[in-house]
Structure 1
Amino acid sequence: MKIRSILAGLALTLMSGAAFAQTTAATGADAAMAGPGITMGKTASGPLKYVNIQDDDLVTSKLVGIGIYNKQNETIGKISDVVIGGGKSVIGVVASVGGFLGIGETYVVLDPSSIALAPDNGTWKAYVDTSKQDLSMAPKLDYSKLRK
């Protein structure tokens, strides 16, 4: 009887340890809130973790190059890049404004909270509440320094 109690206790201990050792992958918005972000340096800050993305999550490769539209559905720029601040979260969206075929373009950085994203016939569009003129007068970014 005493051996059975010891074996049962040992089995419970081993099973609870296995339960604690199991981890699940974070998903979508939960993944963004899961940790401190990307570590800037040569050493990771913790063990490797995996994330499961959802169908409604958006990868940056689908954002770069999409048009930016105003309330009148006029094209006023396009997304050129995404800025991650301190390795933690998206702090800006680089928009190219003006120019023709890449000549004469200027770049501005938009706050992500001022952009709405929506699918449109199999592609994505970004919407902002401004005019092309106001966007072209925004503070400029010397984007060539960042792409080196």
Structure 2
Amino acid sequence: MRHFLIALAATTMIGGAAYAQTAQTTTTETFVTVQPTDVLSYNLIGLNVTNDAAETIGEIKDLVIAEGRLSGYIVSVGGFLGMGDHYVMVGPSAVKVTYLENDKKWTAVMNATKEELQKAPEFKYEGRWER
């Protein structure tokens, strides 16, 4: 009987240790703090994209999130009053987003021309992405 109780106690301790390790490794952060260098999506949606020559070449219409990270911007180019827009997805590193503290405004600059964006592969709002 004594050997049985020792074996039961050892099994319980080993099982408890394994459970504690599992519980520690599966915890995630629920609440985080927004940093001063972070950008909110509403600061980007509708933001004009200019090139190095200060020409407006498009407008950020949407953000693409993949596995919890920004994977691209949907940029609208061409069109007039929402008619005939051509949408393209560009990588986040292709657009430099900056906050101008003195002007209290956001800017988005991309090294491209309007023509290059118009010739880029089109993104269509259809299927699972239909508006």
- Above 0.5 in TM-score? yes
Residue 106 of structure 1 is matched in structure 2 by: 86
**Where in structure 2 are the equivalents of 1:90-101 lying within 5 Å?**
90-101=70-81
1:68 to 16, 39, 49: 49
For residues 43-67 of structure 1, the C-alpha deviation after alignment (integer angstroms, 9 at most, x for no partner) is xx75561110122211111110000
Moved over 6 A (4+): none
Alignment size in residue pairs: 103
RMSD: 1.7
2:110 to 128, 131, 137: 128
**Secondary structure class of the residue paired with 1:143:** coil
- Percent identity for Structure 1 against Structure 2: 33
Residue 147 of structure 1 is matched in structure 2 by: 130
Q: CA deviation at 1:88?
A: 2.6
Q: CA deviation at 1:144?
A: 3.8
Query: Normalising by structure 2, what TM-score?
Result: 0.72
Instruction: Give the gaps of 5 or more residues in structure 1.
Output: 1-44
**Secondary structure class of the residue paired with 2:30:** coil
Query: Normalising by structure 1, what TM-score?
Result: 0.64
Structure 1 pair 55/107, CA: closer, same or farther in 2 (3 Å)?
Answer: same
